[in-house]
Amino acid sequence: METFLFQASIYLVAAVLAVPFAARLGLGSVLGYLAAGILIGPIFGLVGSETRDLQHFAEFGVVMMLFLIGLELEPRALWDMRHKLVGLGGLQVLLSTGALMAIALAYDQPWGVALAVGLTLSLSSTAIVLQTLSEKGLMRTAGGRNVFSVLLTQDIAVIPILAFLPLLAAGLPARMQPDGSITLESHEADTGHGAPTGENANHGSETAHAALTFVEGLPGWGVTLATIGAIAAIIITGVFFTRPVFRYIHSAHLREMYTAIALLIVVGISSLMTMVGLSPALGAFLAGVVLASSEFRHELETDLEPFKGLLLGLFFITVGAGINFTLLFSNPVIILGMALLVIIVKGLILYGLATLFSLRGRDRWLFALALAQAGEFGFVLVSFSVTTGVMPDPVAETLLLVIALSMLITPLLFILYDLISRRLEDVGTITPDEIDDQGPVIIVGVGRFGQMVNRLVQASGFHTVVLDHNPETIAVMRRFGFKGFLGDPTRPDILNKAGLKDAKVLVVALDDPQAAEQLIAYARKQRPDLHIVSRAFDRTDVYRQFQAGSNDIVREMFDSSLRAGRYVLENMGLSEYEAAEAQRIFYHHDRDSIRELATLWRPDVPPSENKAYVERAKELQKDLETAFLRRGDEEKKSA
């Protein structure tokens, strides 16, 4: 017990010291966690062999992360991604595998080993990439959405890769020469099944075997039925049983029970998927998608977010602590060169695919740089390849180090993206986000006006889709946990993708009066039944928006001016009730007056020169004074 507490203290102290320091330097939390692991592992030797076991536990943070991502995606949004999952993601895996296999063949590896190396290195780091995208507010950009599509495809691809690797068993071990070259020797076929000798070589082997235990003895059709049954169980449970269970938990009135049920969902699904040989991360993601439309979604997000952050941080620390610097220092140029070669080759392929799939500017660079590294699933595939006789121990040792180094370099690639992105800002155009969400309320413009509307509506339990053309505004929104999409909301295609066809309310809060008027007119033409609430600068804007088709028009300063006037009346001797009543009378009279004057307003004539408008405005002012006099007489009679 004392040893466990001491080791836990070491990991926590390293994280607390290194991560804030890295964040302050603008390097991101991921690089801080990796640096913390390197300090307590290879440099100071404060942690040892327990890092491998701890990494198995910490990988559960990836499962939680994919569950939370699934909660943000409704099934319709996932269906809309199908072309990118199959096309973009599938091409990335195939092309990267082929290119990296060719490099391994150039190192005189047999084709079976070379193919296993290509498959292993074709996968990217879901944990590092998604964590960094979330921190930088890039998840909802077009580049971020495409990155996520490829990562999801890679997670799915792990399943057939695990099934395919035993077919490649070649039975040829390799021996690393002092100059870094790799030679092969003949040996008995069964020697490849021994335990790996490297510090990290056993990583994930237990997991890989456990994942195949339940279905190992089943025929092919039995494995298929078990897989379909597990997926069906997740969907049926999510649709029909989660609501009654949450209501039952709610009756206990114990906050910790919500956390318990959230953990139970993720742990239970992961166990089920592991038993049928599927990826726990994939099962968790599927469950998140099923529960995305549940009213308990926000509860689940709130309860699991702290666990996800801590486990992911622990995972990154173990990656840093597990780097075999002895092997690295024995061949530093060759091994580091291998890691850089993997990043360059994958980066070129990704950049080409981004161009092919019409990504532009910063999104193209984000896609290429974010996915260029190898990933954590590579650890599992390497150790599984060793235990099935596909990959010799020395090759596995080198490959594990290449994977870890490429993950360690990833935060630097994001820094490079930031530098490129700033350069492109001066010469490029804004690439709109890929809108994958729709809701009953669309809010266009989230400045000081729109963001208040959004907060009120969301706090009341209604789903909103927020659009704005300012990237800084959207970035700030995301930093505070609010979802928003970057793009020009006056473009019909963007507005339609946000759900104009099915929305109940459209809120137009743009700074540009002309753009607001055009947007209202377009929305009214497309949806005569849509209720439109708009923001206006002055009375002229009100009249223009009224004629364009807005239902409720709010002048920027009207309500705040009314409140200020009420405070004046209270300090002039009126009671709070009397001042509030005066405010109410003025509000309703002005609202009715605006509607009536809007029918007399002419855009080609200034209001002061519009005779009919001026005369009616004078009459309405007299009506207002009469209303106040009448109210005063009523109060005197009641007194």
Is the predicted pLDDT of residue 437 greater than 50, yes or no? yes
Q: Are residues 334 and 460 in the same domain?
A: no
Local structure of 429: helix, strand or coil: coil
C-alpha torsion angle, residues 142, 147, 148, 152 (rounded to 10)? 140
Is residue 436 domain-resident? no
- Exposed/middle/buried for residue 455 (C-beta within 10 Å: 0-12, 13-18, 19+): middle
Residue that is last in its domain, among 426, 449, 473: 426
- pTM of the full predicted structure? 0.57
pLDDT at 391 > cutoff 60: yes
Residue span of the structural domain in which 421 resides: 2-426
At 27, is the pLDDT very low, low, confident or very high (cuts 50, 70, 90)?
A: low
Q: Under a CB-based contact definition with an 8 Å cutoff, are residues 492 and 522 in contact?
A: yes
Q: Are strands 531-536 and 441-444 parallel, antiparallel or unpaired?
A: unpaired
Of 257-271, 418-432, 522-536, least confident by mean pLDDT is 418-432
**418 pairs with which residues across the strands?**
none
- 413 shares a domain with 486: no
Q: List, for residues 289-334, the tens digit of each pLDDT value.
A: 788 777 777 778 888 888 877 887 887 788 778 777 888 888 889 9
Strand partners, 507: 443, 533
Q: pLDDT > 70: what percent of the chain?
A: 85
Report the C-alpha gap between 349 and 365 in whole angstroms: 12
Which of 79-93, 334-348, 475-489 is predicted most confidently?
334-348
Question: How does pLDDT run across 403-412, given as a tens digit for each residue?
Answer: 988 988 988 8
Alpha carbon distance 351, 359 (integer Å): 9
- We report the CATH number of the domain holding residue 586 as 3.40.50.720
> Is 195 among the domain residues?
yes
Q: Which range among 229-243, 279-293, 575-589 shows the weakest confidence by mean pLDDT?
A: 279-293
| pLDDT at residue 85, rounded to an integer | 75
User: Does one domain contain both 313 and 457?
Assistant: no
Burial 140-152 (b: 16+ CB within 10 A, else e): bbbbbbbbbbbbb
CA distances from 52 to 200, 205, 267, 321, 401 (A): 7, 11, 20, 9, 14
Q: Is residue 435 part of a domain?
A: no
Confidence (pLDDT) at 220:
63
- 388 with 479, same domain: the answer is no
> pLDDT digits over 323-368, tens only?
778 888 888 899 999 999 999 999 999 999 999 988 878 889 999 9
Helix (H) or strand (E) holding 633: helix 611-638
* Same domain (yes/no): 592, 529: yes
Q: What span, in angstroms and rounded, lies between the C-alpha atoms of 528 and 484?
A: 26
538 plus 421 within the same structural domain: no
Pair (495, 406) in one structural domain: no
What mean pLDDT do residues 383-397 have?
A: 82
Contact 361, 428 (CB under 8 A): yes
**Residue 216's pLDDT is what?**
65
Element (H, E) at 506: strand 505-508
For residue 263 the two structure tokens come to: 């953990």
Residue 433 lies in a domain: no
Examine the domain organization and report whether 396 and 464 are in the same domain. no
Q: Are residues 405 and 485 in the same domain?
A: no
In a domain, 431, yes or no: no
Instruction: Report the pLDDT averaged over residues 35-58.
Output: 78
Closest CA to 520 of 498, 500, 539: 500
pLDDT at 505 exceeding the cut of 90: yes
Note the pLDDT of residue 193: 32
- Residue 432 belongs to a domain: no
CATH classification at residue 372? 1.20.1530.20
Domain C-terminal end among 376, 397, 426: 426
**What is residue 371's predicted lDDT score, i.e. its pLDDT?**
94
Please, where are the H alpha helices in 276-360? 280-290, 297-321, 325-330, 332-356
Two tokens, residue 534: 């708009």
Does any domain span residue 383?
yes
- Which of 400, 426, 452 is the last residue before a domain boundary? 426
In a domain, 294, yes or no: yes
353/465 same-domain check: no
**Residue 32 scores a pLDDT above 90:** no
Residues 47 and 160 in one domain: yes
Quick one: what percent of the chain has pLDDT higher than 90?
15
pLDDT computed for residue 349 by the predictor: 96
Candidate ranges 24-33, 104-113, 429-438, 483-492; pick with highest mean pLDDT: 104-113
How many structural domains does the chain have?
A: 2
561 in the same domain as 528: yes
